[in-house]
Copies of this chain bind each other. A is one copy, B any other.
Amino acid sequence: MTAPVRRGRPGHSLDSLLDVAVAVFIERGYEATSMDTLAERLGVTKSAIYHHVRSKVELLELALDRALDGLFAVLPAADERPAIDRLEAVVRGSVGVLVAELPFVTLLLRVRGNSPVEAHALARRREFDRVVTDLVRDCVAEGSVRPDVDPALTSRLLFGTVNSLTEWYRPGGGLGAQALADGLVTTLFAGLRAP
């Protein structure tokens, strides 16, 4: 880790600003958060924020891109491994990203498509979901996942559960990312695998 050689008057960087902004967006909701509220939490005036960023929605865009980039990095290239192994890897990887980038992913999962920025994020989420659903379908085809429950339902329940982690998981609460992923995979994949 090289020390970030900062010149000029000390203050917030774009990164530190983004961390605080995302925290407040989650706490109060993006729309319900005013730039003045944000400024107060940062200990600066509203104008200072516009020194780092062009608009309120650009803050949101930076946050959503960070979450999405993390999630897409988890998708495996189609290789020779059984689909069920690749599926488990995606689930474990997603849990990892979710824990590592918790605030950003949390924000992503709350986006409703109001602005073009939000609509674009929703589109990328749908793309991610599609890849996972295809993977579950591959599992059923190779016989590793029970066929008596609809694959589309299975994949939605699967990632519905993973995504619901943002509603309650807090790091440093005694439950590590590894134990979390283990518990989740144990519970879910037992009911998933073909008898």
Contacts and interface: CB of A to CB of B under 8 A. Distances in A.
Contacts of A191: 186-192
A112 to B, nearest CB: 5
A5 interface: no
A153 B169 CA distance: 10
Number of copies: 2
Interface string A150-172: 10011011001101110110000
Contacts of A154: 187
Interface stretch (A27-35, A60-68, A70-78): A27-35
Given A29-B29, A29-B114, A191-B189, A157 B161 contact: yes
A175 interface: yes
A153 B170 CA distance: 12
A153 B186 CA distance: 12
A183 interface: yes
A160 B164 contact: yes
A191 B191 CA distance: 4
A32 B184 CA distance: 35
A1 interface: no
In the complex, the 9 A-B pairs of residues with the closest C-beta atoms, listed nearest first: A160-B164, A190-B191, A191-B191, A31-B31, A31-B32, A187-B191, A161-B161, A149-B183, A153-B183
